[in-house]
Structure 1
Amino acid sequence: MLFHNDKLSVRLLELKDGSLLAKWLSDPVVLEFYEGRDNAFDLEKVHEKFYDRENEVVRCIVEFDNIPIGYIQYYQIDNDERNLYGYTEVPDVIYGMDQFIGEVTYWNNGIGTLLVNSMVEFLVEQNGADRIVMDPQTWNERAIRCYEKCGFKKVKLLPKNELHEGEYRDCWLIEYIN
């Protein structure tokens, strides 16, 4: 268990969680906001993207009331991202994070805000993060509102930054500064 906050807990991804990821990432309602409806995952694709990789991404399952409801990952941004985001001269410890709630019945209940706030606190207190960044697509207003409630600020428009449903979409670079 990485951390626990009220009914929310975050733990490391385990092999047994592959079927959960396949379920969530084949749901068109979830895919509309994460990965794209034209990019459904089966178990093989889940293993390629989430398990068979050697990088510094820490992959986790989000639980609420001991029920797995979503996914979150975090990582120190690399030099390519520092260049893209304009942080080449910034000596700060900078983490990136990505998340989604895969059980849509848990949407719009404040759990996303609790999750983002909790992960920010964890990254600052346990990992020494000076800044935390994300790059949501500009049209994803619900997610952006959640992040802004958690103290993130829009920093920079990233034109045509992410392929989503067949086209490159604009994203906002948003940051939380400790």
Structure 2
Amino acid sequence: MLFQNGNLKVRKLEKKDNYLIARWLSNPSVLEFYEGRDNPFDLDKVNKVFYDSEDDEFKCIVEFDGNEIGYIQFYQLDDETKKKYGYFDGNIYGTDQFIGEVEYWNRGIGTLLITSMVKFLIEHKKADRVVMDPQIRNARAIKCYQKCGFKKVKILPKNELHEGVYQDCWLIEYQL
């Protein structure tokens, strides 16, 4: 287990979790803001993207009340991404996440997850700031992140290809 905060646990992704990721990333409600409804995942795609890739992301499963409900990953920003975002130094981490079990939406769990992850990154990874780049149209997520202390920094125009259209995103940050 990476960390626990009350009923919330975050643990490292295991091979047996591939069926969960495939189920979540084939749900149109989840895909509306994460990956796109035109980009569903089957087991083969999950295995290739989440298990066979050689990236620097630390991939995790989110549990609440003993149930696996979502996914979160964190990573240290590389120099290219820092430059793109306008940062020149510092220990900066990024996160991406979703709650895959839609019955757990709008219950404050996302807020608990983000505040817990920020605390973990500051205390254990010595992060100076944590950043995310949600699509501007994802108002629910942005509201959650702002509740957790993130501030809007700037718009990243046409930052993410989503359902065939390049979407503008907010660069948001949590800074000590």
The question of a shared fold, defined as TM-score above 0.5 by the shorter chain, is answered with yes
Q: Which consecutive segments of 4 or more residues in structure 1 shift more than 3 A?
A: none
Identity rate, percent: 66
Return the letter of the residue paired with 1:135.
Answer: D
Could you give the per-residue CA deviations for residues 74-133 of structure 1, whole angstroms, max 9, x where no partner exists?
000011111110012xx2100000000000000000000000000000000011000000
Instruction: Tell me which residue corresponds to 1:98.
Output: 96
Residue in structure 1 matched with residue 164 of structure 2 by the alignment: 166
- Among 141, 144, 152, the alignment partner of 1:143 is 141
Which amino acid in 1 is paired with 2:29?
Answer: V
Q: Deviations over 1:37-77 (max 9, x none)?
A: 00000001001111001121100000001100000000000
Q: Which residue of 1 aligns with 2:108?
A: 110
1:132 to 123, 130, 146: 130
Deviation, 1:160, is: 0.2
Q: Report the residue type matching 2:37 in the other structure.
A: R
Q: How does 1:13-162 map to 2 (within 5 A)?
A: 13-88=13-88, 91-162=89-160
- How far, CA to CA, are the matches of 2:133 and 2:55 in structure 1? 19
Provide the rounded CA distance (Å) in 2 between the counterparts of 1:121 and 1:169. 29
1-side partners of 2:74 and 2:127: how far apart?
11
Equivalent position amino acid for 2:138 in 1: N
- Which segments of 5 or more consecutive residues in structure 2 lack a partner in the other structure? none
AA partner of residue 69 (structure 2): I
- TM-score scaled to structure 2, two decimals? 0.99
Q: Does 1:10 align with 2:22?
A: no
Superposed CA RMSD in Å reads 0.5
Structure 1: where are the runs of 5+ without partners? Answer: none
